[in-house]
Amino acid sequence: MSATTAVIRATNLTKTYRYSEQAPGLAGAVRGLLRPQRRERIAVDALSLTVPPGQIIGLLGPNGAGKTTTIKMLCGLLRPTGGELEVLGHRPARRSFDFLSRISVVFGQKSMLWWDVSTYDSLLIHREMYALTKPRFDAAVDELSERLDVTDLLHVPVRKLSLGQRMRCELVLALLHGPDLLFADEPTVGLDVVAKLALRNFLAELNRDHGTTIVLTSHDMSDVAALCGRIALIDHGVIGFDGDLAELRARSGQHADADLDQVLAAMFRGRS
């Protein structure tokens, strides 16, 4: 695959955090001030990953494995310590308008909507941010609100919405500008079974109808099994597996009908 056709191309991507340690107590604080003990922690260790257009890839791993750090580098929130990274032909850390206008991020545990105003008011703000024409804005709002069944909720204050309603409105906001690449971080966390299914179906349709590339991180293995044709497992900042679910089951030594939770438990058993 050529560099021009890859949505994401990371080569030996590395992120190292530098920090100081100090002993407890006043004496430790004084020694730490005068002679700080410098330490380093490698969060992402020479990670390489290529994602073609239109793919849904699940980025999985235990807590502290480096998933969040990787996502933050891919969307430009963190600058890599080393390696090469190109997303949609851009260096993400430069955070150019053209780059930011082609990506979006949805966090299941964080809201982009303004709490005390309606979703539509937040949409108007994003229209100005992305310099959308009124016809394009109206068409996007109509399509997304219909697909996500939130047309009657757009003018309700966000604080009065249920969690499932709010997450659907979050997706309208995130996709308003028609991004080519969506980072979905725990998008179904806290949702009931019906709301989860509706959200999964929408993401599958978004990928099918618009060719949107989706990078999904989730602890809900049902999301991953339903959506992801490709799974990359990160552990200690390194990708230890990259393939489909059938390959993952075979690698784990689990039965072909084992659920994904069992498969991942087998893959990470004994690692610390």
Question: Per residue in 184-224, pLDDT tens?
Answer: 988 888 888 888 899 999 999 999 999 999 999 888 888 88
Tokens representing 269 are 């058993």
Strand segments (E) across the chain: 8-21, 37-51, 56-60, 82-87, 103-107, 181-185, 213-217, 230-235, 238-243
Residue 9's nearest CA partner among 41, 55, 42, 63 is 55
pLDDT of residue 269: 67
Question: What CATH fold (topology level) applies to the domain 3-21+39-268?
Answer: Rossmann fold (3.40.50)
Q: What is the pLDDT of residues 6-33, one digit of tens each?
A: 999 999 999 998 867 777 777 767 676 7
- Sequence-distant (6+) residues with CB within 8 A of 57 are 51, 214, 215, 216, 228, 229, 230, 231, 232
Look at residue 180 and tell me whether its pLDDT is greater than 50.
yes
Model confidence band, residue 143 (pLDDT cutoffs 50, 70, 90): very high
pLDDT exceeds cutoff 70 at 272:
no
Percent of the chain at pLDDT exceeding 70: 90
pLDDT, tens only, 88-99: 999 999 999 999
> What is the mean predicted confidence (pLDDT) over 221-234?
90
Q: Rounded mean pLDDT of 148-164?
A: 93
Encoding tokens for residue 117? 């105003």
Q: What angle do CA 37, 39, 43 make, to 5 degrees?
A: 160
Q: What is the pLDDT of residues 166-175, one digit of tens each?
A: 989 999 999 9
Q: What angle do CA 197, 265, 54 make, to 5 degrees?
A: 45
Note the maximum CA span of the chain.
65
Burial per residue of 134-151, b for 16 or more beta-carbon CB atoms within 10 angstroms, e otherwise = eeebeebbeebbebbebe
Structure tokens at 50: 């290529």
User: What gap in Å lies between CA 45 and CA 236, rounded to an integer?
Assistant: 8
Range 62-81 average pLDDT:
90
What angle do the packed helices 134-147 and 163-175 form, to 10 degrees? 150
Distance CA 203, CA 182 (A): 10
Task: Supply the pLDDT for residue 189.
Answer: 84
Given pLDDT bands bounded at 50, 70 and 90, which one contains residue 1? very low
Confidence of residue 3 (pLDDT cuts 50, 70, 90): very low
Alpha carbons 209 and 203: distance in angstroms, whole number = 10
Identify the pLDDT of residue 11.
95
141 touches 173 (CB < 8 A): no
Q: State residue 5's pLDDT score.
A: 84
Instruction: List the one residue out of 123, 125, 168 whose CA is nearest residue 150.
Output: 168
Q: Is 197 exposed, middle or buried (0-12, 13-18, 19+ CB in 10 A)?
A: middle
